Amino acid sequence: MQSFPSLGNTIRPLQRRDLEIVQQLESLPDDSHDRAGLSYKSDWLSLVRLSSWLPNPLRHLAKPYVRAYVSEYNGEILGFICVSPTNGSRSTWQIDRVAIAPHSQIEAQIQPSHIGTQLIRYCLESCWEARTWLLKVDIQHKDAIALYRQNGFQPLAQLTNWEISAEVLQDLAQHQPDLPNLLPVSNADAGLLYQLDTAAMPPQIRQVYDLSINDFRTGSFEKLVGYTAKILQQVQEVSGYVYEPQRKAAIGYFSLALSRPQGKRQQPEQKVSHYCQLTVHPAYTWLYPELTSQVAQIVTKQSSEQSETNYSLLVSSADYQPEREAYLEQIQAQRQSHGLLMARSVWHKIRETKLVLDGLQLSRMLSGLQPNQKPVPGRIDAHPPNYPSQPEELP
């Protein structure tokens, strides 16, 4: 990796005293040219989530395992980066967020792109477990894409974020889905979900994520941490999968994150957005209407119980899922944003440890030594005198 000119600033882990400034950088408007990343669920970020990024002894036991670093120049925070692994083996890491201070807060001799480059390269060099890095960036953020390309990231796939309105969800909920083998998700189903996820991804994307069966299991501590985080964020998770008994495989899966409005009652101008992760086997694309109707029934039922009127469902799709995008266009879902999935590989150079004697270069020194006199021949042609030619006989 080529060296980059030093700016005199310091890259260090996030500390508690940095939370207020980082929260201000996180709340920059989406049209800011200094914001180098866009998360699909950025509205859920809060001071509680930022606090989870702080170093602590039990942080490696939780998922996601997050590392956050800040760029400090003369005691002032100019930017921060947040990264986390995408699998249990930590062979693949993703850049969750890169945020840089506005131009007005940065000195003239420092360019914002240089700050972002230093933050990214610091993570590439410090996370030794990572063999592959990936990120998701909005296609409208040209400066962010240029920053990532400058640091070796290449696009893998195009992503589209869709929004299904409340009216469409109510119409879909009227249809009774034909899902006789819809089962809840548990750790015993990790192998089925792993096979489904493997079949739903192209080989190149599958290789980047590098998932295993253990990535679809959840430990007791992870469940406790996840349950606490969902309570603080006022999010309820509902998941299920469709089982095919003939093939003994899972052919469809959904994970629904139901958001609740802030406060006891929903304000008229407050909009509640629910998020759904949907995975369908490529050979069973007829499941898209059935699973969507099932999700619509769950969302509509909770919204009626919470007296919510202004709500919607957010779904993502990729360019290698043409059937899903065709179905979303058919039900008149609205495109909200387009993004890119970008990735790069990292090969950490391991320095070879040489012996101390090799560093002294003794072989070169000894080869230069020359004798002062001619050496004595080592070959003896005759026996020394008084040495009997025949051995003595014993008496």
DSSP state string for 73-108: ETTEEEEEEEEEESSTT--EEEEEEEEE--GGGS-T
136 and 207 inside one domain: no
Q: Say whether 175 sits in a helix, a strand or coil.
A: coil
User: Same domain, yes or no, for 193 and 144?
Assistant: no
Residues 325, 209: Cα–Cα separation, whole Å? 22
Q: Is residue 238 part of a domain?
A: yes
CATH number of the domain that residue 33 is part of: 3.40.630.30
**Domain of 208, in residue numbers:** 160-339
> Residue 177's closest CA among 315, 49, 296, 13?
296
Instruction: Per-residue pLDDT tens, the chain, 395 aa: give them.
Output: 444 444 467 888 888 887 787 777 776 654 333 333 333 333 334 444 544 555 554 444 455 578 889 888 887 888 889 999 999 899 999 999 898 887 645 555 567 678 889 999 999 998 888 999 999 999 999 989 999 999 999 999 999 999 999 999 999 999 999 898 999 999 999 999 999 999 999 999 999 999 999 999 988 777 777 777 677 667 889 999 999 999 999 999 999 999 876 555 555 567 888 999 999 999 999 999 999 999 999 999 988 887 778 899 999 999 999 999 999 999 999 999 999 999 999 876 655 445 444 555 555 555 556 666 666 665 555 555 555 555 555 55
Reduced to 3 states, what is the DSSP secondary structure of residue 276?
A: strand
Q: Are residues 130 and 33 in the same domain?
A: yes
| Together in a domain, 280 and 165 | yes
Are residue 194 and residue 291 in the same domain, yes or no?
yes
The answer to the question of residue 106 being in a domain is yes
Q: Are residues 175 and 318 in the same domain?
A: yes
Residue 93 contacts by C-beta under 8 Å, 6 or more apart in sequence? 83, 84, 85, 86, 123, 127, 129, 130, 132, 133, 134
**Which of 100, 132, 152 lies at the terminal end of a domain, its last residue?**
152
- Domain end, chosen from 309, 339, 369, is at 339
pTM: 0.75
Same domain, 97 and 43: yes
Q: How many domains does the chain have?
A: 2
User: Three-state DSSP class for 345?
Assistant: strand
Specify whether 128 is located in the same domain as 244. Answer: no
For residues 388 and 382, what is the distance between their CA atoms, to the nearest angstrom? 12
Domain boundary among the residues 339, 362, 390 is at: 339
Positive/negative CA dihedral, 148, 150, 155, 158: positive
